[in-house]
Amino acid sequence: MLLRIDHVGVACTNLEEKIEFYESVFGLTVVSREVNEEQGVREAMLHVADGDQGASYVQLLEPLHPDTAVGKFLAKRGEGVHHIGYGVADVTKALEEIGAKGVRLIDQRPRHGSMGASIAFLHPKDVGGVLTELVESSRR
């Protein structure tokens, strides 16, 4: 069901500083920057690699307000890995299958994600403490 790791989401307090870090230390390139009001983030996607099933990225996330998913995470845990996004062929179908196995769905239906993707989150408490995102890429 999971095709690849689409992205690793990293929570940070200063997006511009963190972009510069990933560019200068790892030589990565920003391929997209967006503000996603619904998710409460300003984010950047940095391309890591291309594979048979699509590309993989690092997603740097800065909260728009303290009272958001990433804002609360930063207050509680500080900067670091926030979630893992797995590529799937059909996010609606994947949600159905995973929900039927008793895993709590944060999103009952897909939301708008970075670069036109359809995304949905699974509750970290039901995935061994890992906030897990399903990503149906718009380009396949």
The binding site for Co ion (CB under 5 A) comprises 9, 59, 85, 133
93 or 104, CB closer to ligand V0V? 104
Dist. CA 108–CA 134, nearest whole Å: 12
**Residues 13, 113: Cα–Cα separation, whole Å:** 20
132 binds ligand V0V (CB under 6 A): no
For 40, the 3-state DSSP assignment is coil
Q: Residue 22 belongs to what H/E stretch? A: helix 15-26
- Residue 42 lies near ligand V0V (rule: CB under 6 A): no
- 92 contact choice in Co ion, ligand V0V, none (CB below 5 to 8 Å, kind-dependent): none
Q: Which stretch binds ligand V0V (CB under 6 A): 14-22, 65-73, 87-95, 97-105?
A: 65-73
Residues 6+ apart with CB under 8 A from 82: 9, 10, 11, 61, 70, 73, 131
Among residues 12, 44, 94, 131, which is the contact residue for ligand V0V, using CB under 6 A? 131
Among 10, 19, 44, 70, binds ligand V0V (CB under 6 A): 70
For residue 79, what is the DSSP state?
A: S
Residue 124 binds to ligand V0V (criterion: CB under 6 A): yes
Stretch that binds ligand V0V, among 12-20, 24-32, 89-97, 115-123 (CB under 6 A): 115-123
8 Å CB contact between 15 and 62: yes
Question: Is 114 among the residues that bind ligand V0V (CB under 6 A)?
Answer: yes
